[in-house]
Structure formats: structure tokens, C-alpha cells
Structure 1
Amino acid sequence: MYRYLLAMLLLAAPAAASAQSVEFSKDRFGNDKEGLKAAQKEIKAGDEFYETDPPHYEQALARYLKAQQFNPNNDQLNYKIGDCYLHSGFKPRALTYLQKAYQLNPDVSPRIHYLLGRGLHLNAKWDEAVAEYKRATPATGAKNTAGLVLDIQKKIKECENGRKLAAKPTRVFIDNAGPGINSPYPEYGPVITADESVILFTSRRAGSTGGNTDPELGGFFEDIYQSTREGKDGWSAATNLGDAINTDGHDATVGLAPDGQRLLVYVEDNGGDLQQAELRGVEWRKPQKLGSRINSKYHESSASYTPDGRSLFFVSDKEGGMGSRDIYKIEIEGRGPAQNLGSVINTQYGEEGVFLHPDGKTMYFSSEGHNSMGGYDIFKSVFENGKWSAPENLGWPINTPDDDVFFVISASGRHGYYSSFRDDGLGSKDIYQITFLGAEKPPVLSQEDQLLASRVQPVKEILLAPPVAIVAAQVTILKGVVTEEASRQPLEATIDVIDNSLNRVIASFQSNEKSGRYLVSLPSGVNYGIVVRKDGYLFHSENFDLPAGSAYAEVVKDIALKKLDVGVKVVLNNIFFDFDKATLRPESTGELERLQKLLAETPALRLEISGHTDNVGNAAYNKDLSQRRAKAVVDYLLTKGIDRGRLTFAGYGDTEPVAPNTTKAGRQLNRRTEFKVTGK
């Protein structure tokens, strides 16, 4: 490869030698004095932006490009345009201008080889980039070059990483999220509900709150917008969250609870802080500060909730970290300090954009370290056996030689979302949907398609059809609507998630007060009790026993709460017996305690406890077993001080089915313990 590059350079030498830079002077453009004057004016204005501290590259670039239209053959102008592009969202465009600047004048700048290396690197020309980086390396013994040498060594390593990763691309489709979300202005920072039904994101589009533009950066101030899924692939027209969330300044998305009821936002306060807003009905409440245990005088930029909502992963550049930015974890309602995730995750470089999957153990984040192919790459790590696994690069074409950051993924693991500058964008930076595909199948038929392989240029690849989705997530999403049984009106209720083996509430959520909607994320490996409760109503329980390794599932369960009236029946789904016995298992304790509490709080309440079976086996035996099981529940309540006169029990065997006995699911529903209100 290097011999080939040397030959190409030698072949190009006569052309480079013959090319000359064309100055913006009267002797070259005397016939167009007005055009020359206008071009010189643009260059002067561009230089003012370019040479300020810090440089305003975007404003300078706009002026330089106008002058470039008049004279495209000036070495310094091409060099400055290339440098400006390297500091823009469209970095790969820098290469054309830098190569031309070098062709016009190989001595255009002492930095030309380094910048050429950057331009080639960002266009995934790995070997050519390495060659230029090596030419940019200072001579041995030169002064004040240690930092540059380390930087070049790191970039050479990134090119080597990129070459390896691009040789085995990840099978994905990367598609623009469409006009419902994206506009001619920048969109970025997507966050989603676990079921992918709602997306919130940051945009700097016209019509922002206050309608003002940033005097330093240009463009409108950031606002937060929301869109909902319409059909299989489309998104509704995004709406502004309103002035409860958005201010006249910058307001940006950071994280969203899996159920979409709590939102983390970034505000430019105290160096950069995180705040939390809650959704009440259809209105977002004003964000509240998260406190000094999370926010510091430094910069806290991104965060993600754990599925139970009790802890937070966040990014900070505060003192004591391992690199420029580190990832920490903290219990939101606790008292202890935030814990650095350690050297397996954090590097001497920057980490950013942390996101915890609803399975509670898989973390996605971006890093400049590990085996990044350039800038920030997106990585995945899994917490198992008390430690984080070595971060895995998500690979090409998800990651590119430019910064890839603020990635989120649905609970199913099928779709990811992030923002990127690409040629198929609707204007500036857009939000894209990544569809993860399964392993390659033996070819049935071949079809040529486009995979977006970098921020700029699509790469053609022969795809094997049909693709198969990867479903590897180990989590169940339980969602639905809580209503009042009689009126069918939505209710705001508390949903407790209980680890039955520990008899401990591990999370509590609220259904939406206007819609009654709820969503709960249940990582595999736990026998869950789900209890829905509201003052004035009988509690409702569900059971989800999810063994470790259980694949992704989405369960829709609408729940109607019942008033405490005579004749009302409630199934006790979290009462368990040993097989073919009337012995209560320890996992039943929580449900029994809830029943005891109900009786203690309602002294006049009288109940019949009943047992039921399916129709498998001898009817007489089933009736006897169901009666003994009902009696076991009553006996437990008696030991807890409940008066015997308030309780009766009965075994109905298979005589009162609630579902057909012709299916496994139906028979399971028929095997139940329930209570009926007989007096109050």
C-alpha cells in the first residue's frame, strides 16, 4: 500500500509543481474590479471570524465560500475553507479543499499534513490518513511537541481501529427519521419511551420559544420537541413542549424515563446542570434541579434513568475523574456520593451520552477511548456478576471517524436512534433510525441497496434478502390503561413492582392522570408481583415470573379497578402453592400481607376466600384441593389477628372457569385464588 501511495505521489508531482496559487489582485482580475472588491470584502470579513478567539468557523466559512466562487484557485483560501469544514458538522468536506491547497502550494501551512490526515481520516481513507499523519509527526528533539506527538499517535491508532471495524460492517439499515421529526434546522439528542411510541428531541428551528438567536453561535436557541409514532414507520409532526419546559435560552433533552413520565433536561446554569421535569396529564411541569449530589460547579451533560427510576447514570467533568469526562452512578433519593464506574468503562479520554437499556444491565455510551475509530464512538457494556464487561464498539457504519454520540435504543433492541450529518439530511443535523438486522442468511436472491456508511458518502453493498431482526433484549414491557371498572374513566393509580422472592417493592410508578396509561419495564430474572392501587378501590394484582434469559416481550394489560362493593371479586394473582399441595409458598407473603392490610383498614369488611382449578384430573379431587388452598389463606389471616367471623372459605374446583379450558393460557387463568366481598 505504501509503495502504491509513493508511486501515486510521484505521478502527481508534475501536476502539483505546475499548479500555482492565484492571488486576489488587480493584475489577475483587473477586468472585474467590482467582483474582486466584493471577494476581498468577503475574505476580510471571514478572516475576522476566523482569527477571533475562539474562532467562529461557521460564520467564517460562509464568507470564504462566497469568495471561493470568484477565485477557486487560491492556496490560503482553500486551506482556510478546509480548516473551517474540519470544525463544522460536515467535516469530510474539508478534504477536497485541503488537497487543492496542497496542490497549489505544498508549503501553504506547517499544519497541512496534519490537516490532510484529518481530512482523509474523516473520509475513512485509513491508509492514506496514516501516511499523512506520519509526515506531520515532528522531528525527534523538536521543542514543545509532546502533545502533538501523542495526538498523532492516537489518530494513527484510530485509523487502524477503523480499518479493522470497516472490514466487518455491522448489518444495519440507517434511515432518516423523516419530516415529522427533522426540519431544515439542526435536530439532535433523541430520547424515546421503552416501547418506542414517543420520541423527544432538541431542535434549533424557527419558532423556538422567545424566537431569538444565539449571538455567539448563531442560529435559534434550542427547544425541546415531541413526536408520536404513527403506524409502523412514520412519526407525527413534532410539537414544541411549551414554555413550562422551554425558555428563551437553550433547553436540551438529556434522558427520558422508560414510561415517558419524567424527563431530564440540560440547562446552561452553574457551568451546565441537569434538571428533571414530570408529566402530569398532558402538561409538563417546570423542571426542578436535581441537587448538589448530582450537579456540581463543573459540567454535567447527559444522564439516564435505571428501569426502576431510583438511580441515575450521568456524565460529568468534575475533579477526581479518570479522564476529561467520566460516567457516574448515583441513587437519586440516597445520601451517598456518586460512584465513578471505573477504568473498565471510563478512560483517560472523554465519555459522553450514557444510556441504560430497559433491561437494567446493558449500557450504551460514547467514548473517545477504547477502540474508537475517531472522535466519539458508541460502545456497549453489560453488567453481569458484579462487574461491567469490556466495552464493545457497535461498529461500522453505525460509528464513523467523526463524533457519534447520544445514542438510544428501544427495549426490543430492534431500533436505535441518534443524530448525524448526512447527505440525505433534510437540512442540517438530522435524527436517524438504525434498524439492527440478524446474521446473514444464505442468499435467496440478491438486491443492491444503499447503506449509509459515513456522515457524507453512501457505500453500495450487496445485501442478502430477507433480513431477520435480532431480538436479544431480555426484558418485558408491560403497558396498558388503568380505569375505573364501572365508569371506564381513566385513573391515576400507583403501580408497585414487587420482587416476590424478596417480598420487597423494587419500583413504584404512576399511571397518567389524564389518560390512565402506564408502562413498566421488567428485566428478566425475577418473579414479579405487580400491584395497582388507589385509595377508595380494591387493589389489583398481576404476576410475571420471568426466568433469567427470557427474551423480549411486550404485554398489553388494561386494568379496571373495582370499588369496594358487596359481590365484587378480585383475583389474587400473587398467591402461590407447592405443586399439587395446599402449602403456601414464601413468594405469597406480599399478597397475603396486602390482603391482611385491606381487612385491617376496613373493620366491617367480610370476605369469602375461594380456590379454583382447571378441568384437568378428577373433579372431586380438584374441588378438595381448591378448598384446602382457600383454607390455607384463611388460616394465615387468622394468625395475623383477623377475626374468624369476617372470613369464610370455599373450594369450587373447575365449576367456575373464567376462560376456556381448551388452551394452556385458559387453564392457567382458571387455576386461581380469589376473594369476594360478602359484607362491608
Structure 2
Amino acid sequence: MQTLLRILFLAGALLWAILSNAQSVEFSKDRFGSDKDGLKEALREIKEGDAWYDSDPPRYEQALPHYLAAQKFNPANARLNLRIGNAYLHSGFKPRALAYLQKAAQLNADVDPNIHYYLGRGLQLNAKWAEAIAEYKAAIPAATGKTAPAQIAAIQRKIAECENGRKLMARPVRAFIDNAGPAINSPYPEYGPVISADESVILFTSRRDNSTGKQRDPETGGFFEDVYQSTRGSDGQWSAARNLGNPVNTDGHDATVGLAPDGQRMLVYSEDNGGDLEEADLRGAAWRKPQKMGGRINTGKGHESSAAYTPDGRSLYFVSDKTGGVGNRDIYKVEIEGRGPAANLGPTINTPYGEEGVFLHPDGKTMYFSSEGHNTMGGYDIFRSVFENGKWSAPENLGWPINTPDDDVFFVISASGRHGYYSSFRDDGLGSKDIYQITFLGAEKQPMLSQEDQLLASRIQPVKETMLAPPVPIATAQVTILKGVVTDEASKQPLEATIDVVDNSRNELIASFRSNAQSGRYLVSLPSGVNYGIVVRQEGYLFHSENFDLPAGAAYSEVVKDIALKKLDVGVKVVLNNIFFDFDKATLRKESTAELERLQKLLVETPALRLEISGHTDNVGNAAYNKDLSLRRAKAVVDYLVAKGTDKARLTFAGYGDTQPVAPNTTKASRQLNRRTEFKVTGK
């Protein structure tokens, strides 16, 4: 046994001696005289690589294939390994730099004065936090001259990032990170995903060979950017992504940066004026030509790179590098149709460094964004902040493995908080940068993430659930998604109708949307904490109303409500879902005002219209009492309309008690449907 240990010790010592004395092998005839053709080809590859590497600006990714070809011929040259490592540090696959940088340092410890800093970067990008910190500390003595203070400050910042990374990696977020698959990703770069609130639509930017102009960017050599779209089927699978074509995509660069929760409005990045934001509307199946968003958002020579709608569609959060900000890129908020200037979100959100990729959750108060500041573990990390009590909370890092030591930008999340989407360079990608889906599991769920490869979590089949996903810690998910199809009741054909969202307690119109002109589909995002009146209207039809009273803190839910609008004909009945009475009384509550005003407006706009207002109850309690209560409630509505100027002769009222149910009185929900106020057209 002792002999075996001695042999192993001597073998290890010999290996260490060989590695310690490793020297850089030059590309010379003295070393490779027996393979002159191979040497000649390797030198040619190095020359071409150097031309890209030393260009102004450097083209590192173009240099890489030439350097790698030469490195295959001679893997033991310190300068070549250093240049490959540095080129990878400036590529999409930065973690690959480490092996080449370590090889360069092994071959020649003095290969570059900044070798310790480069090694620190390579180690940090591979989440080797302690080793990275040691190399960064070793890099400090190399900082000399007038720029030494700035160099030392930059190194100390990198050390702080590693400390952040060590802490965050010690308590990983439980999530699966899965490639979105070949329907969305291709061998070309895909990035900047945006989704509708219910995840039924995804749009993203890609540089594919079927781009509209089929031109290559002279700066990068890649194809120009275009916008692509995919839809999720009933089986949960994404359709093959299609190029949106004209007029959204042009011969130049076209990128999507934001999508309204209902998927009917899109924000597009334009190269004009150094980088501006434009807006396109979906009419039917076709997107209209993007239009400029105006000077309060776009700032001449400024660069506006990303943006997000608020759920009501009235305001915009956007990123700009215009002068006067906290850092070099800040997040602002502005009312789209207002007149006031855009407001900087201030130092709680914005840092002296860069902010990017802003996204507002459909709950209207939770913002996700990327930042080079705060407690990032390197590059841009994704953060979350909540607007409560008039201010933004301290941004919270989403944690490892969602965030990595490299840039993590342009993150979006579904209304449920169940899934997030972003783009990343990963070894399981289909080519270049790909779009990935994050499935948040929650702390109580099993199994645990693999500790062997936390960056690339275990692969699982897509989750197929018919029940609503429960709230998870990573998102507030205090929102209800109301969606469905608007049709003509008689023809069953889809209708393009206006959907008004009203705050009943304040009698205030919050937002207006339109159902799709071709499909009739609509989607409305309703943050918790409001008694909502939903009114669907179209010229030539009677309005349809729904009520959603969502208390503060109500968890995520998704409601599918198809709405068939009725034309104004004698005998047609319409339920007034936003008429409210005090308990067991015929006293109209103030939340009824908006609905009553709509009914009054209908009577004014249709002078010949005659209505019967009727009250209805469930079957709980005494039948005679219920009939009397329903009569008194119907009369209260008539009295209100008459007081507002409607001719009393145009109105009648009736109380039917529990004699005309619209649902079985077997559950709480069905009994609620039977307790209603409605009107019937008796003349027109």
C-alpha cells in the first residue's frame, strides 16, 4: 500500500513539474518544419483573426473561428490562447473564455499585464466566486498611472459582484429553465420575447436568413433583425414562428420591445434618431404600420431601447439614456396621451449604472427590469420591485439560476406568475442565443434542483394543468384575466366591440379596449383591489355588462367569458350586472351609478325605446317577501331614470321574485346569478 501511494505521489509530482515548466510554443519552422503546409494555413488563419481582432471597433466573434482553427494546429501558444479567451469574453458564450485564459497563463505567466483581471472575469462567468475574487485581488497591483483609481474601483466592483453571486447561489430559486423549442428557436439568434398576459401569443426578435430585406448587417455580418410571432395551441404547444412581414418588418432592423396584455398593441424599436420607439396596432390578423410615439418619449439623439405598457394601456414605462438621468440608462414613466413630461423613477430603481428591459406585470404594480447596479452578480441581472403606498420597494434580485454572472435582460412573466421568458446563450441552444421558458416551482415543491448543473435545470415535459396555478413567491399574481370572444347573438359571427373597464366605486372609466376585428377575441387584465364594471358595446347593439369585485390581495384567476351582443329588438332582455342594492333593501348603492348612467344614455340616444325594468331573487326565504323586494328594487331603478329626465311613460317595472331563475338554485354561484336586475325591450 505504501509503495502504491509513493508511486502516485511521484506521478503527481512529475505531472506538476511538467505543467509548471510548460512554455509557449511559437508558430515557427523550427517547431513545425515537418508540416509546412499546416503551419502556413495556421499562420493565415491567425492573420485573418488578427485583422478582425485589431479592427476599430474590434470584431471578436468574427476573429474566433480563425483563431480556433489555428489553435487546433498548435494548442500551446500563449498569445493565441489569450486572444481566444479575450474574444470569448466579448462573445455570447463568455464562460468558454476561462479554459483558454488559464492555458495562456500556464504557458506564460507574463503573457499580458492584465492576465489576473482576465482570469477573474473568466472565473466569475463560471460562478467560481472565491477563485475569481483571488484573481481580482491579484490584479490590483497592475493598475498604474493616472487611470489607476478608476481601474481599482472597477476591480473592487467586480469583487463585490462575486460576493453577491456567492450569497445568491447559496439560496437558489427553485425553477426549471427550459429551451422554448424549435417552433420558436432556430440556428440564428432569438431574443427580446414579449407575451400576452395569458401566454397565448409570443413575439420576439430574430436575425434569420428569411428576414424581410434578406440583407446582412455590415457591422456584425448577421442578418438584419425582424419580428416573429408564435401562438400557443390548446395542446400547450407553440406554433411555428412566422415572420410578421411588412409593414412591421422593413429592409432594416426591426425589433419588438413590448406588447399590451391583450396582444393588440405592440411597441417596436426603430433605428431612427439613434433609437426610437414606435407603436403598431393589430387589426384583425394584420399589424398596421408602426407609428412614432412622440417627443415626450423619443428624445432626438437619445436612445430609447425598451418599454412596457401599464395594464390600462394609458401609460408607458420606458428606458432612455437621455441627459439628466440618475445613470447612463434610466427607467421613466409617461402618460401616452397626456401632456406632462416623462418622470424618472428615481434612485430607488435607477442606479449610476445601466437599467434595461423594463416590464410591468399585469397586476399594474410589480415591475421587472434588468440592472448593472443594485446587488448584481455580474453584468445585467433581473430585479423585481413593487409599487405600494406611493413608492417603489427596494429592488429584489430574482436570484440564481435565473440570473447568472453574464447579462440577463428582457425578462417577461405571465399574469399567473407561473412562467417567465427571456433569452440566453446556453450550451443546449439550437444555435446562437435562444429563448427560454422559466417555470417557477415555489419553495414547497419537489424535486430539488440538480446541484450538479444549476444553470441548466433538469429537463421536464411542459406542465399540463386545467386548474389555475397557485400563487408562487416569485410574483404577486394579484390579478384576474378576463378573456373570451364577442359575437353577434343571432349570426354567431365575431364582432369588433369596445370593452370599457369602469371603477364602480369611483364611477370612473379606467380603460377601453377593443375585441379583435377578425376573431372577436378580447382580453382584459384586472388588478385586484377594485370593484370593476365591464361593459361591452357596439353600435347597433344593446350593451352587455359584467361585474368583478376583486378585493385587495385576491390571488390570480383566469375567467373565460364569451359575450353575445343582442340587437335592439322587442322582447330582448339584458341583465344589468352592475346594479347594486344594500343588503335586504331597495336602496341603490353608489357603485350602481355608472350602470344607471349607461342605461339613461341608451334611453336618450333611442327616443322611441320603451323598457320594462324587472327585479329577480333566488329561492331563499319567503316567496311573497322576495317578490315584494324585487318589485321595490325595480321601482328604485325606474325612479332614478325618471329623476334624470326620462319620460315615465316609457318605463314600467315588475318584481318576479324567484319565479324566473336563469340557473338552478343549488349553489352559491348559481343563486347569485338569479339575484339580478334586468331590462326588457317592450317597444322601439
TM-score by length of 2: 0.94
1:452, 1:574 → 2: CA distance?
A: 54
2:631, 2:416 → 1: CA distance?
A: 42
Q: Which amino acid aligns with 2:351?
A: T
Question: Could you tell me which of 533, 547, 553 is aligned with 2:551?
Answer: 547
Determine helix, strand or coil for the equivalent of 1:234: coil
Answer yes or no: is the 8 Å Cα contact 2:618–2:665 preserved in 1. yes
Q: Which amino acid aligns with 2:265?
A: R
Question: Could you tell me which of 126, 147, 150 is aligned with 1:144?
Answer: 147
Q: State whether structure 2 residue 310 is matched by structure 1 residue 310.
A: no
Which whole-Å deviations, capped at 9, do the CAs of 1:379-419 have from their partners, x for residues lacking one? 00000000000000000000000000000000000000000
Q: State whether structure 2 residue 386 is matched by structure 1 residue 374.
A: no
Q: State whether structure 2 residue 432 is matched by structure 1 residue 431.
A: no
Determine helix, strand or coil for the equivalent of 2:141: coil
Determine helix, strand or coil for the equivalent of 2:509: strand
Question: Could you tell me which of 257, 267, 270 is aligned with 2:273?
Answer: 270
Q: State whether structure 2 residue 159 is matched by structure 1 residue 156.
A: yes
Q: Which amino acid aligns with 2:454?
A: A
Partner of 1:214: 217
Answer yes or no: is the 8 Å Cα contact 1:417–1:433 preserved in 2. yes
1:141, 1:300 → 2: CA distance?
A: 37
Q: Which amino acid aligns with 2:242?
A: T
2:532, 2:514 → 1: CA distance?
A: 17
1:340, 1:118 → 2: CA distance?
A: 33
1:17, 1:450 → 2: CA distance?
A: 33
Deviating more after overlay: 43-52 vs 622-631? 43-52
> What is the Cα deviation at residue 567 of structure 1?
0.3
Partner of 1:519: 523
Q: Which amino acid aligns with 1:168?
A: R
Question: Could you tell me which of 86, 95, 98 is aligned with 1:95?
Answer: 98
Q: State whether structure 2 residue 580 is matched by structure 1 residue 576.
A: yes
Answer yes or no: is the 8 Å Cα contact 2:71–2:80 preserved in 1. yes
Q: State whether structure 2 residue 420 is matched by structure 1 residue 419.
A: no
> What is the Cα deviation at residue 52 of structure 1?
1.0
2:244, 2:453 → 1: CA distance?
A: 31
Answer yes or no: is the 8 Å Cα contact 2:114–2:142 preserved in 1. no
1:460, 1:260 → 2: CA distance?
A: 31
Partner of 1:489: 493
Answer yes or no: is the 8 Å Cα contact 2:488–2:566 preserved in 1. yes
Determine helix, strand or coil for the equivalent of 2:72: helix
Identity of counterpart residues, as a percentage? 79
Answer yes or no: is the 8 Å Cα contact 1:436–1:469 preserved in 2. no
Q: Cα 1:139–1:90, aligned 2, differ >3 Å: closer, same or farther? A: closer
1:450, 1:164 → 2: CA distance?
A: 16
Partner of 1:677: 681
Partner of 1:585: 589
Q: Which amino acid aligns with 1:561?
A: L
Determine helix, strand or coil for the equivalent of 1:200: strand
Which whole-Å deviations, capped at 9, do the CAs of 1:334-371 have from their partners, x for residues lacking one? 00000000111000110000000000000000001110
Q: Which amino acid aligns with 1:415?
A: H
Answer yes or no: is the 8 Å Cα contact 1:451–1:459 preserved in 2. no
Q: State whether structure 2 residue 508 is matched by structure 1 residue 504.
A: yes
2:479, 2:71 → 1: CA distance?
A: 55
Which whole-Å deviations, capped at 9, do the CAs of 1:95-130 have from their partners, x for residues lacking one? 000000000000000111100000000000000000
Answer yes or no: is the 8 Å Cα contact 2:357–2:369 preserved in 1. yes
> What is the Cα deviation at residue 146 of structure 1?
1.8
> What is the Cα deviation at residue 49 of structure 1?
0.8
1:11, 1:335 → 2: CA distance?
A: 76
Q: Which amino acid aligns with 1:588?
A: S
Partner of 1:358: 362
1:450, 1:558 → 2: CA distance?
A: 46
Q: State whether structure 2 residue 342 is matched by structure 1 residue 338.
A: yes
Q: Which amino acid aligns with 1:453?
A: Q
What are the residue-to-residue correspondences of 1:382-397 with 2, within 5 Å? 382-397=386-401
Q: Which amino acid aligns with 1:94?
A: A
Q: State whether structure 2 residue 290 is matched by structure 1 residue 283.
A: no
Q: Which amino acid aligns with 1:159?
A: C
Q: State whether structure 2 residue 410 is matched by structure 1 residue 406.
A: yes
Question: Could you tell me which of 553, 569, 582 is aligned with 1:565?
Answer: 569
Partner of 1:54: 57
Answer yes or no: is the 8 Å Cα contact 1:437–1:470 preserved in 2. no
1:667, 1:416 → 2: CA distance?
A: 38
Partner of 1:594: 598
Partner of 1:84: 87
> What is the Cα deviation at residue 34 of structure 1?
1.2
Partner of 1:528: 532
1:451, 1:255 → 2: CA distance?
A: 36
Question: Could you tell me which of 247, 251, 268 is aligned with 1:248?
Answer: 251
Q: State whether structure 2 residue 200 is matched by structure 1 residue 200.
A: no
1:491, 1:644 → 2: CA distance?
A: 34
Question: Could you tell me which of 320, 323, 329 is aligned with 1:325?
Answer: 329
Q: State whether structure 2 residue 191 is matched by structure 1 residue 188.
A: yes
Q: State whether structure 2 residue 128 is matched by structure 1 residue 125.
A: yes
> What is the Cα deviation at residue 134 of structure 1?
0.5
Which whole-Å deviations, capped at 9, do the CAs of 1:313-341 have from their partners, x for residues lacking one? 00001100011110000000000000000
Q: Which amino acid aligns with 2:663?
A: A
Which whole-Å deviations, capped at 9, do the CAs of 1:7-57 have from their partners, x for residues lacking one? xxx999744541011111111111111111111111111111111111000
Question: Could you tell me which of 169, 179, 182 is aligned with 1:176?
Answer: 179
Answer yes or no: is the 8 Å Cα contact 2:176–2:458 preserved in 1. no
- In the alignment, structure 2 segments of 5+ residues that lack a partner are 1-12, 460-464
Q: Which amino acid aligns with 2:155?
A: I
> What is the Cα deviation at residue 449 of structure 1?
5.1
Q: Which amino acid aligns with 1:329?
A: K
Q: Which amino acid aligns with 1:161?
A: N
Q: Which amino acid aligns with 1:591?
A: E
Q: Cα 1:633–1:406, aligned 2, differ >3 Å: closer, same or farther? A: same
2:449, 2:308 → 1: CA distance?
A: 38
> What is the Cα deviation at residue 142 of structure 1?
4.3
Deviating more after overlay: 632-641 vs 432-441? 432-441
1:569, 1:345 → 2: CA distance?
A: 52
Which whole-Å deviations, capped at 9, do the CAs of 1:190-234 have from their partners, x for residues lacking one? 000000011001111121111111111011111110111134542
Partner of 1:453: 454
1:140, 1:524 → 2: CA distance?
A: 54
Q: Which amino acid aligns with 2:491?
A: S
Determine helix, strand or coil for the equivalent of 1:117: helix
Which whole-Å deviations, capped at 9, do the CAs of 1:625-672 have from their partners, x for residues lacking one? 000000000000111111011000000000000000011111000000
- In the alignment, structure 1 segments of 5+ residues that lack a partner are 1-9, 462-466
Q: Cα 1:591–1:11, aligned 2, differ >3 Å: closer, same or farther? A: farther
2:266, 2:30 → 1: CA distance?
A: 62
Partner of 2:298: 295
> What is the Cα deviation at residue 150 of structure 1?
1.1
Answer yes or no: is the 8 Å Cα contact 1:174–1:451 preserved in 2. no
Answer yes or no: is the 8 Å Cα contact 1:123–1:401 preserved in 2. yes
Answer yes or no: is the 8 Å Cα contact 2:143–2:151 preserved in 1. no
Which whole-Å deviations, capped at 9, do the CAs of 1:294-324 have from their partners, x for residues lacking one? 0012110000000000000000011000111
Partner of 1:19: 22
Answer yes or no: is the 8 Å Cα contact 1:451–1:460 preserved in 2. no
Determine helix, strand or coil for the equivalent of 2:325: coil
Answer yes or no: is the 8 Å Cα contact 1:245–1:284 preserved in 2. yes
Determine helix, strand or coil for the equivalent of 1:235: coil
Answer yes or no: is the 8 Å Cα contact 1:251–1:267 preserved in 2. yes
